[in-house]
Structure 1
């Protein structure tokens, strides 16, 4: 009997803990007291409940109910599985109401932001759109943008320059940005793969934690921070100046454009592991692009599929494959795959 009593007390204690925050303490204690005592008379019920007012509230909440046996009326605690239904229902209603209030507040805040943005644009357009032509100010702005990123820093890179690109011009995301978990993503035009400097820039960016993809016919350069600001060149090369856009609707549209390109672009991975850092221009050394094409050939992909994956034209793909087979002295694709594996070109 002693063991059963302890088990009962433990169960009632657990019920009391579960009721914490769902019921006022006086009601939770009163209900627990009824569970311990079981069925009782009207007189004893007031004592178990703690007060007549508390007893009335326990009855009204369905935690205690009256039982009529002939002419005698007693009170009995309601089974927890039934008693808690109303409590859970009330809790769900409160959560639904709170959720609705949060959604409403969020919508109102969005409306306030849109109204404020329109007001700023109407009263001071320079705050929404700025044009910069001074090289030092553009450099300072670029650094300021990437260092202000909280979640995303995005970039589009075309192969258009007024001054030839150098390896020193490589500018991967600062360590402070990647260390705070900002996702840095860049899309490069396929011309970067056919140039030693472009190859170096892409590999350097990947090594610093940036996600890189390539695509054919990239039409413009761009830098974009979160959904707050975008920087676009005034000319295709960007040498004449840039335009800084903070208008939310425009920035959001540019972000959507980037995501569409990202979905179509082909992923690029580090060359480490494929070969001991092969570089374009070295005798008999395949480029990173050629290594990727060899892997696709080994998977049995047709030229059309390879073109779709890399963003290159079908003619360019076939030209590269022809070069690869010449490098391997292979007459068939099957032979090329065997020789590529033998030379360590395939991971």
Structure 2
């Protein structure tokens, strides 16, 4: 009886040949002449789990698993699904590509976005600045660069010398650049000579642009106030990047400067010992006046003038009148 009711075959579809099983199912359902939903559900319900999975993967059954799809409909469904997935994938790739381009632009762009927060200290009282510097100098480990366009009074210099020598004893390399004007006083000359004797590299330049300390190339101390040495507004900058910029300023002035010598100190001390008459002679020499004109101006003899010139050259450590004039100009004795 079962065979008579099912003349198209005597065996249930299996997954051993899923294509043959699908075609057999499709033929039986099509041969009935009408799509009987109940009979179709029953046919599909009798299939094995493996065959059912094969049919669903190829969209040969509807999502509910109750109706069998012809190959044409299954193909259209697969193509539509793949088209949707391709569009979604393209959109995702577009977003990922845009993200990668943004990252590349950040990598290749100037790093202005990578800003560093710089700690700044500001003092209007230089005595407070000096106390802060003592604390900073005590932790210095590598290098100390100093630029001076002037020096404080002898008492402060004596205290500074002690701190500088302590830093030097800890192995800190020290370099000091000072202006020619700054070495004129006896106190500054003694201070620089003591530093040089202890092993500090000291150089002298006609002028220096800043009154500044740089510690370990990470901390910069500058006199930024209205005073001759920047008094009234001392700034301390804690930043290695900022310090590197000021190191370049220091080295630019350091390289052409001349090493400090005792003779330079002697010039500074001697300049302070020039008499008013000797200074007047220097001023007249700077104007290009001849000996006869200078002698008439001073109301002295040629012999007295020659003696004055010899005294001036000896005090300035100069070997000629020309060198005496150059030294006097460097020391600020003539304008």
Q: TM-score, normalised by structure 2?
A: 0.43
> Whose radius of gyration is greater, 1 or 2?
2
